[in-house]
């Protein structure tokens, strides 16, 4: 207390200091705060392409007062989703910006995990009409913008041009060619896909079902999985997964395991997302550089179908640095960030004008190929439901059981029908 009184007296005695000096100190303090370096944390799944490093490097060069720390999340989208939910339920501020699967924004917004972006978008004059309307709509909930589109995806068939002479048109063509080409040019398998019990299996299942004219949930929100078309599609999926031309452990394969086997030259065909092209032509990692092309996935009775995918990014509602987080989000999802991602990561931009960029097309010639365009045009959405994770889990469990022979496909669709109807909001 005595010390406090002495200090107070000193303060009073110094009160005669000119107001101009005091004002100068205040201004200096403000300038210092402007120069204060802030670190924000950006979370996303493993990036095998290195594009994230390029984006962060370019952003930090333009914003020397903002450092971006990259935090790698689980590759499995289900595990990544759960990790975010656990963190955000605890109102944690340990991450600032996060990547979001195209199916998550509505759920995360409803759960109050995300910071609405409308005021940032309006203040900086961002024209959302410059983006593909599909991802923008998926990022909108209750009239508010909760995320910014990063890239758009669709399942595609990549094949070895040095092995494949005729691109399979139907699933039966693929089966025949995979059997024939297995073992050619040092390959061990005929076809690679994602068959682990996780979100990637749902995407594959959607493609098989839709290519035969079926669906899980229709446009009116009605469960329609128990149909002859869906049964035929899932039977074809089970046939492929249990064939002798896919890896014996294909039910443990996610994108990482499948793309690794493909770039090591182990198969002539793979079902994967557009990033596969860049990875297959990376001289530091791939053994098949220059020998890869892309086509739509094979047709069923109703034609070709590709699961619509893609990723967005949003800001953690509990971030302690929302303005800095927005600056990074705006850059990453804007023209410059998406261009870097397209060139270094082969991710298809959500800004249509970028498909006319010569540098992007030079790096990703397949963006201008008929096969790529047709694959995007064949895209179908995954089941639309406000509680999508529960619907996805039902699909994963029952399709996995059908693959394992624990139930027939007919039993699987009947169980999915019952469980989905019980879970969907009335």
Residues 113-131: pLDDT tens digits?
999 999 999 999 999 999 9
Q: Which two tokens stand for residue 165?
A: 């002479």
- pLDDT tens for 9-23 read 444 344 334 444 444
The band of 300, judged by pLDDT with boundaries at 50, 70 and 90, is: very high
Q: Considering the chain, what percentage of its residues have pLDDT values greater than 90?
A: 73
Are 213 and 349 in the same domain? no
Residue 78 placed within a domain = yes
Radius of gyration (C-alpha) of the chain in whole angstroms: 25
Q: Which domain holds residue 52?
A: 38-152+309-376
Are 137 and 196 in the same domain? no
Does the structure show a pLDDT above 60 at 4? no
Are 168 and 285 in the same domain? yes
Residue 6 placed within a domain = no
Q: Which two tokens stand for residue 129?
A: 């009409």
Are 284 and 172 in the same domain? yes
- Domains held by the chain: number: 2
Are 300 and 396 in the same domain? yes
Q: At what angle do helices 228-241 and 199-211 cross, to 10 degrees?
A: 120
CB-based contacts of 259-262 (< 8 A; 24+ apart in sequence): 259/48, 261/188, 261/189, 261/192, 262/158, 262/192, 262/288
Are 385 and 265 in the same domain? yes
Cα(276)–Cα(18) distance, rounded to whole angstroms?
A: 67
Q: Has this prediction a pTM greater than 0.95? A: no
CATH number reported for the structural domain that contains residue 227 in this entry = 3.40.190.10
Are 117 and 66 in the same domain? yes
Residue 81 placed within a domain = yes
Are 331 and 405 in the same domain? no
Residue 326 placed within a domain = yes
Q: What is the mean pLDDT of residues 136-147?
A: 87
Are 81 and 220 in the same domain? no
Find where tokens 């609405």 sit.
Answer: 116
- pLDDT tens for 186-204 read 999 999 999 999 999 999 9
Average pLDDT of every residue of the chain: 90
Cα(379)–Cα(153) distance, rounded to whole angstroms?
A: 9
Give, for 62, the enclosing helix (H) or strand (E): helix 51-62
pLDDT (0 to 100) of residue 48: 85
Residue 3 placed within a domain = no
Specify the pairing of strand 348-349 against strand 148-154. Answer: antiparallel
Cα(266)–Cα(318) distance, rounded to whole angstroms?
A: 45
Domain end: 337, 356, 376, which one? 376
Q: What is the mean pLDDT of residues 330-344?
A: 97
pLDDT (0 to 100) of residue 5: 37
DSSP for 399-425 reads: HHHHHTTSS-HHHHHHHHHHHHHHHS-
Q: Which residue has the higher pLDDT, 111 or 170?
A: 170
- pLDDT tens for 411-424 read 999 999 999 999 98
Q: What is the mean pLDDT of residues 93-121?
A: 94
The DSSP letter of residue 248 is T
Q: What is the mean pLDDT of residues 24-44?
A: 68
Residue 103 placed within a domain = yes
Phi then psi dihedrals of residue 299, to 5 deg: -90, 150
Does the structure show a pLDDT above 60 at 1? no
pLDDT (0 to 100) of residue 308: 84
Cα(203)–Cα(421) distance, rounded to whole angstroms?
A: 20
Are 200 and 160 in the same domain? yes
Closest among 120, 128, 80, 87 to 104, alpha carbons compared: 80
Residue 4 placed within a domain = no
Residue 68 placed within a domain = yes
Are 87 and 128 in the same domain? yes
Residue 56 to residues 16, 45, 330: CA-CA distances in angstroms? 49, 15, 12
Q: What is the mean pLDDT of residues 19-47?
A: 66
Phi then psi dihedrals of residue 38, to 5 deg: -115, 140
Are 286 and 322 in the same domain? no
Does the structure show a pLDDT above 50 at 320? yes
């Amino acid at each position: 207390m005595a010390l406090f009184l002495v200090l107070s007296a000193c303060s009073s005695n110094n009160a005669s200091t000119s107001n101009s000096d005091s004002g100068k100190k205040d201004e200096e303090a403000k300038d210092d705060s402007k120069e204060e370096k802030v670190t924000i944390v950006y979370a996303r799944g493993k990036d095998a392409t290195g594009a994230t490093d390029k984006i962060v490097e370019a952003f930090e060069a333009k914003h020397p007062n903002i450092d971006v720390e990259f935090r790698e999340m689980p590759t499995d989208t289900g595990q990544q989703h759960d990790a975010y939910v656990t963190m955000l339920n605890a109102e944690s501020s340990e991450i600032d910006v996060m990547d979001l699967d195209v199916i998550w924004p509505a759920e995360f917004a409803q759960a109050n995990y995300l910071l609405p972006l409308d005021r940032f978008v309006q203040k900086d004059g961002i024209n959302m009409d410059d983006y593909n309307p599909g991802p923008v709509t998926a990022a909108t909930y209750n009239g508010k913008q909760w995320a910014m589109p990063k890239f758009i995806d669709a399942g595609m068939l990549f094949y070895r041009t040095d092995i494949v002479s005729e691109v399979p048109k139907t699933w039966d063509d693929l089966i025949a060619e995979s059997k024939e080409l297995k073992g050619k040019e040092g390959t061990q398998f005929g076809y690679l896909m994602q068959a682990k019990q996780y979100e990637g299996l749902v995407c594959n299942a959607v493609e098989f079902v839709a290519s035969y004219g079926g669906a899980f949930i229709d446009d009116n929100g009605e469960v329609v999985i128990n149909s002859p078309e869906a049964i035929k599609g899932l039977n074809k999926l089970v046939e492929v997964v249990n064939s002798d031309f896919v890896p014996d452990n294909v039910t443990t394969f996610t994108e990482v395991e499948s793309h690794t086997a493909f770039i090591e030259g182990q198969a002539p065909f793979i079902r994967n997302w557009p990033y596969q092209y860049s990875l297959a032509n990376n001289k530091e990692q791939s053994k098949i550089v220059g020998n890869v092309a892309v086509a739509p996935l094979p047709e069923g009775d109703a034609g070709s179908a590709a699961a619509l995918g893609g990723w967005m990014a949003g800001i953690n509602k509990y971030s302690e640095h929302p303005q800095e987080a927005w600056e990074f989000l705006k850059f990453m999802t804007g023209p410059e960030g998406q261009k870097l991602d397209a060139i270094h990561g082969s991710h298809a931009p959500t800004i249509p004008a970028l498909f006319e960029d010569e540098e992007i097309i030079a790096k990703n010639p397949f963006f201008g190929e008929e096969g790529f365009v047709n694959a995007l045009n064949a895209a179908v959405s995954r089941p639309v439901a406000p509680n999508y994770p529960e619907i996805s889990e039902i699909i994963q469990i029952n399709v996995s059981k059908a693959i394992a022979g624990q139930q027939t496909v007919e039993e699987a669709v009947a169980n999915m029908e019952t469980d989905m109807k019980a879970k969907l909001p009335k």
